[in-house]
Structure 1
C-alpha cells in the first residue's frame, strides 16, 4: 500500500487519510511525504519559514507550504527576509531610467533591503538611492468578515505599490513608476516570511 501511495498525487493521498486507521498511519508517514514535499519545493523561489519548524511532520510542512504559497498578503517578515531587485518602468521619467543600470544594459538591477525598524537601504554607489532617509509601511484595510479591501506597500511618500505573488512563490510590488521583485532564496536556512500562518 505504501508503494501504491508513492505513485499517487498528494491530493489523493491526503484524501485517503480518512479511510481507516490503517490507511491513516501509512498515508501520513514522513517516509511517504518527504519526496512529495521535495517535489513541491522544487523550483520555488522562497520556502516558508513555518514549514521548516523542527519536529513538524512532512505532511504538515507540505500543507503549510501550499497554503502559504497562495497567500497574497505580504508581511513585514516577508519584506525583511528577502533581497529585492528594483527597476524603473518605461513610464518613469527618462532621467531616472538613465540612472538604472538594467535599463542601460551596463549592469544588473539595483537592489533594495527592508529592515525590521521600518527603514530601507540600498547598495553603496547606487545613483538612484543617494543615501537619503527612507521608510516603508504596509497598509491593509478590510471590509466585513476579514475580507481585504486594499493591500499595498508604500515607500516614503511615493505612490503605493500593489502586491502580487507568482507561481514560484516569489513576490512583486509595483506601481506605474517602478517595481520590486524578490530575489529567489529557496536554500535560505530556516526559510522566509512569518513563522505563524497569516491568511
Structure 2
C-alpha cells in the first residue's frame, strides 16, 4: 500500500536570489525577517546577514533612552541579531543593579498623593523641569539643586522579581519602597505612592500619558500602600 506523501511545494521558475533577495529581505521588519529565514536554507543564509539585522537594530534603538552597553558592544562585534534580542529582553526587565542605577541621572517629582505641602515646592508642579538627582555609588543621594545631599541614603533589594529602592532620610526615616517599572522607550521609573524618579527628563508641560499619576498608579503593589499606612502611623 502506497504511503500518503505531502506534495512538494512547486518551485518558482524565477527564484529570488542574490541582490534581489537581499533587497526584498531589507523591506521586512524583525518578525518578517525571522519568518523569511525559515523558507529555505538559501533564505536562512541571506536572512542572517549582519547588515540586515544592524539596520533593524538602528531602527529599534533610535528612540530608546536606554540601551545596555553590553548590547552595543555585541552589535559592534558583528552580531546585531543577538544584540537586538538581548536589548529587547533588557528593555522589559524590572530589575537593575547598583552600577546601572548609579550611572544614570534621574529626575524626581512628587505625585499628587503626596499632598499640597510637598507639591507646592516641587519644581515639576510649578511648570519647570523636575529636580535632578544621582544615586551615588557610596549610597548617598545627591540632589543637583538642593543642599541636603548628605542626609539621604539609598539601598537596593529585589521583591517578587522586581527591584525595590529604599531611601532613608536622616530626620524623616525610611520612606515607603519604590518599585522599578519600565517606560516604552526602555527608560527606568522608580515608583511609590508618593513620588516618581525617572531616568529621563520630566516636564509637566510635555510628559506623556505613561508618566501621569493615574497611569503609574496602576503599577503600584498592595504592600506599598501598606508601607504608606505604617509610615503615617509612626
Separation in 1 of the partners of 2:98 and 2:108?
A: 18
Q: 5 Å matches for 1:182-197?
A: 182-183=199-200
Separation in 2 of the partners of 1:183 and 1:10?
A: 27
Q: What is the CA distance between 1:111 and its match in structure 2?
A: 0.6
How big is the alpha-carbon RMSD for the aligned residues of Structure 1 and Structure 2? 2.1
Q: Which residue of 2 aligns with 1:167?
A: 184
Separation in 1 of the partners of 2:33 and 2:133?
A: 42
Q: Which residue of 1 aligns with 2:133?
A: 112
Q: Which residue of 1 aligns with 2:215?
A: none
Separation in 2 of the partners of 1:114 and 1:15?
A: 44
Q: Does 1:158 align with 2:175?
A: yes
Separation in 2 of the partners of 1:3 and 1:58?
A: 18
Q: 5 Å matches for 1:17-28?
A: 17-28=37-48
3-state SS of paired residue (1:132):
helix
The number of equivalent residue pairs is 174
Whether the 8 Å CA contact 1:165–1:171 is kept in 2: the answer is yes
TM-score of the aligned structures, taking structure 2 as reference length: 0.67
| From 35, 38, 54, the counterpart of 1:34 | 54
3-state SS of paired residue (1:62):
helix
Separation in 1 of the partners of 2:136 and 2:50?
A: 36
Q: Which residue of 1 aligns with 2:102?
A: 80
Whether the 8 Å CA contact 1:85–1:110 is kept in 2: the answer is yes
Task: Assess, with a 3 A threshold, how the Cα gap between structure 1 residues 51 and 151 changes in structure 2: closer, same or farther.
Answer: closer
Whether the 8 Å CA contact 2:107–2:133 is kept in 1: the answer is yes
Whether the 8 Å CA contact 1:171–1:182 is kept in 2: the answer is yes
Q: What is the CA distance between 1:56 and its match in structure 2?
A: 4.2
| From 68, 72, 86, the counterpart of 1:52 | 72
Q: Does 1:69 align with 2:86?
A: no
> Which string of whole-angstrom CA distances, capped at 9 and with x for unpartnered residues, describes residues 69-109 of structure 1?
1212222233122111110111224332232122223x421
Unaligned runs of 5+ in 2: 1-20, 169-173, 202-234
Larger Rg: 2
Whether the 8 Å CA contact 1:86–1:111 is kept in 2: the answer is yes
Q: What is the CA distance between 1:19 and its match in structure 2?
A: 4.9
Task: Assess, with a 3 A threshold, how the Cα gap between structure 1 residues 32 and 161 changes in structure 2: closer, same or farther.
Answer: same
Separation in 2 of the partners of 1:164 and 1:56?
A: 31
Whether the 8 Å CA contact 2:141–2:149 is kept in 1: the answer is no
Q: What is the CA distance between 1:24 and its match in structure 2?
A: 3.2
Structure number with higher relative contact order (C-alpha < 8 Å, ≥ 6 residues apart): 1
Q: What is the CA distance between 1:161 and its match in structure 2?
A: 0.8
Runs of 4+ off more than 6 Å: none
Q: Which residue of 2 aligns with 1:121?
A: 142
TM-score of the aligned structures, taking structure 1 as reference length: 0.77
Separation in 2 of the partners of 1:10 and 1:95?
A: 49
